[in-house]
Amino acid sequence: MSHLQLIRPEPATGATPARRRKISLDKVAVDFTTRGKTFRAVDDVTIEVPEMQFLALVGPSGCGKSTVLNMVAGLLAPSEGSVTYDGAPVEAANTRVGYMTQKDTLLPWRSVADNIGIAFELRCRKANAAERRERVAEMIDLVGLKGFERHFPAELSGGMRKRAALARMLIYEPETLLLDEPFAALDAQLRILMQQELLRLVERRQMTVILVTHDLEEAVLMADRVMVFTSGPGRIRTERDIPFERPRNAMELRFRPEFSAIHEELWSELKDEFAASVERERRAQ
């Protein structure tokens, strides 16, 4: 495929007009109180995600990216502003999303197959044993854990646990994925494979995605739109449409000059925020 085929013919507008708004944060702020002191973690964040968009949030550690995901998942209410999903306020745990947090939260006393199977039972209470076995095997195959079905989480590497957690989330067939550093624990080669696999799945199931990552390359490779957060309180410093056509080949795309140009452009914004974050941590010590 020539690189021209990878570029959309028209300039992207971020929100494809024909698509419904799936997730919306309107002038959201979050205050936390720790040890008697209140501080603002997220400030004046407005984000609209149309259905089937893949949005990536990048920014230095502690800038409030996970806090944004927690609000969309319904685990945290904003101090100011509003969060809506399909036009309705998010007021309780959002069961329409699959949320993969930084911790993998697998049940340590259950095997890989059982961890995934229990999730399937929760979703399809009427499913029979054969169906469960088939779907679990499909998921295990999908994330490359064949041969490890009977292993317990403690017997797996960090990357394998992540893959088991990914399979457990996907078996719910969520319409939206909230992914918090899903590949941070993986080695470079596996990360590339998993990125490609996730892109394929998102395409196949037409899912809406918010990906939180420290890795700008990952963000540009995978997302339709990248938002750079300030170092704290987290505000949106800049956002950019990523004009590469889907389905994407993340393995090829990373070597293209257009990819490097966008990466460089966003890095020039992000590096200031990393520097500000390091300085803030130094002052806090």
Min CB(195)–ligand ATP separation in Å: 18
Residue spans of alpha helices (H) in the chain: 3-6, 65-72, 112-123, 129-142, 158-170, 188-205, 216-222, 250-253, 257-284
Span near ligand ATP by CB under 6 A; candidates 55-63, 93-101, 171-179, 185-193? 55-63
- How far apart are alpha carbons 38 and 16 in whole angstroms? 39
Least distance CB 135 / ligand ATP (angstroms): 31
State which amino acid sits at residue 201: L
Listed ranges 59-67, 83-91, 125-133, 191-199: which one lies at the site for ligand ATP (CB under 6 A): 59-67
CB atoms within 10 A of CB 250: 23
Minimum CB separation from ligand ATP for residue 281, in Å? Answer: 10
User: Cα separation of 58 and 79, whole Å?
Assistant: 22
Of 50 and 98, which has the nearer Cβ to ligand ATP? 98
Answer yes or no whether residue 31 interacts with ligand ATP by CB under 6 A.
no
Shortest separation between residue 238's beta carbon and ligand ATP, angstroms:
16
Question: What binding mask, one character per residue, do residues 218-257 give for ligand ATP by CB under 6 A, x or -?
Answer: ----------------------------------------
Residues in the chain: 285
Distance set, CA 262 to CA 45, 252, 256, 269 (Å): 23, 15, 10, 11
Give CA separation, 125 vs 40, 118, 137, 197, in Å: 42, 10, 18, 28
Binding residues for ligand ATP restricted to 60-79, rule: CB under 6 A: 61-67
Between 17 and 36, CB nearer to ligand ATP: 36
Which residue, 72 or 139, has its beta carbon nearer to ligand ATP?
Answer: 72
* Measured distance CA(122)–CA(145) in Å, rounded: 22
- Contact flag: residue 139 with ligand ATP (CB under 6 A): no
Minimum distance from residue 34 beta carbon to ligand ATP (Å): 5
Angle between helices 129-142 and 158-170 (to 10 degrees): 130
Bridge partners for 179 per DSSP: 100, 211
274 lies in the binding site for ligand ATP (CB under 6 A): no
- Applying CB under 6 A, does 263 fall inside the site for ligand ATP? no
Q: Which residues bind ligand ATP (CB under 6 A)?
A: 32, 34, 41, 59, 61-67
